[in-house]
Amino acid sequence: MKVTVIGTGYVGLVTGVCLAEVGNDVLCLDVDARKIEILNSGGVPIHEPGLEELIKQNVAKGRLRFTTNVADSVAHGDIQFIAVGTPPDEDGSADLQYVLAAARNIGKFATTDKIIIDKSTVPVGTADRVKEAVSNELAIRAVDINFNVLSNPEFLKEGAAIEDCMRPDRIVLGIDHDASAALDTMKQLYAPFNRNHDRIIVMDVRSAEFTKYTANAMLATRISFMNELALLAEKTGVDIEAVRRGIGSDPRIGYHFLYAGCGYGGSCFPKDVQALIRTADDYGQPLTILRAVESANERQKLVLIDKAVEYYDGDISGKTFGVWGLAFKPGTDDMREAPSRTIIKELVERGAYIYAYDPVATDEAKRALTLDLSAADMRRIHFCETLNQALVNVDALFIITDWKEFKTPNFRDFHESMNAPVIFDGRNLFDPNLMYEEGIIYKPIGR
């Protein structure tokens, strides 16, 4: 099939590459000329395991191309995926300007029938606005074509996006009742991902739009709930890790997203929680639990700071801290809403110096922190090339992202490299009893 994917961020690029991998003719559009130049020169503008290899393979086979030409992209695809960003607006609602711009461009240039698919995470009612935008442009041109607007939300985890796309646990299709032909086309498109058993869940468009937000809100709630319990666990002498195992064994609860830590971040949970809260307010049906989830998460990002300030009797000015992990999660270089940004900003503004290491996110971290800090504060941060460099002559180590290479360190390095073997662990990587035996002062969360 001929497919156009509008937007080459995480969702658009992964979607386009995976559709090409199963034999479709895919053209990816982005108005960011720098991104397209990188992709056309064989590079990848984001870090996602396995993505670069798949891009090279499918470009070489002629199934995948990249362009900035809007007219070409509209002409190419009978199926048009809109996978552009929906960043939070000033009031927390989803900013739909890029989605609607994509819709208008389809209306401006389409000459044949189209299936238009909202792949971006969008509020309830967006498909109606996309339909209206396309119709208005077609009316201006006096062009009469058939088109359907579907909702097909993504459920990709950064760091495992290729696997999630190629082997999805569900494929949600929101479709109008009179669009049976479009549904048949989508089932055909997704057939290669749907062989073992039927993963397609068909519903109305608004329910599909709502499903994506609800999924992320539920997962964010689990995280904040466990983080709040972890803080209580510390006060009561309870090990939250033992509690996690105890409740996770209940099949009604399960183990996923029950790890206590220093807060969630990334491109999805923070903005989607905010957007759902705003939607609820617009309809006069406030979501009090979700507001608490958001508040708890913001507070959780400062828990390690509180531990450090308490340990150093209220003053961390002049201290030098190592930081392991900058990306919001392992397997990605994404710094959007990363807890490391809040933690480093607070440390630096309190007068500390930072030696920071991340396996892949250093460049993105430099760009992100430059937005958060003054030039003078940025001079307090040194970015290291190895994790051991981030230990040399530091007063303590902060662990913020649970990369695999952090999980089995040589504990002698903490004694030999650091001024004192002190660890503030935002991901509970180590056994507190082992740390005690190793002579390491260990400050995890909820343990």
268 is catalytic: yes
Helix 362-372 vs helix 339-349: crossing angle, to nearest 10: 50
Catalytic member of 18, 165, 262, 268: 268
Query: Do residues 267 and 80 make contact, with C-beta atoms less than 8 angstroms apart?
Result: no
Chain length of the chain: 447
Query: Do residues 400 and 323 make contact, with C-beta atoms less than 8 angstroms apart?
Result: yes
Query: Do residues 25 and 5 make contact, with C-beta atoms less than 8 angstroms apart?
Result: no
To which residue do tokens 């001024």 refer? Answer: 419
Q: By C-alpha distance, which of 15, 30, 36, 27 is closest to 62?
A: 27
Cα angle 234, 342, 97 (rounded to 5 degrees) comes to 125
Query: Do residues 323 and 340 make contact, with C-beta atoms less than 8 angstroms apart?
Result: yes
C-alpha span between 381 and 367 (Å, rounded): 13
- Classify residue 223 by its DSSP letter: H
Residue type, 310: E
Query: Do residues 226 and 240 make contact, with C-beta atoms less than 8 angstroms apart?
Result: yes
Q: What is the dihedral of CA 288, 289, 291, 296, to 10 degrees?
A: 140
> SS3 for 192?
helix
Name the pairing type of β-strands 25-29 and 64-67.
Answer: parallel
Query: Do residues 186 and 115 make contact, with C-beta atoms less than 8 angstroms apart?
Result: yes
The set of residues, in sequence order, having a beta carbon less than 8 Å from that of 425 and lying 6+ positions away, is 399, 442, 443, 444, 445
> SS3 for 265?
coil
Query: Helices in 200-338 by DSSP H: which ranges?
Result: 205-236, 240-248, 269-282, 288-300, 303-311
C-alpha span between 149 and 186 (Å, rounded): 12
Query: Do residues 335 and 341 make contact, with C-beta atoms less than 8 angstroms apart?
Result: yes
Q: By C-alpha distance, which of 244, 240, 164 is closest to 446?
A: 240
C-alpha span between 330 and 307 (Å, rounded): 24
> Which residues are the active-site residues?
268
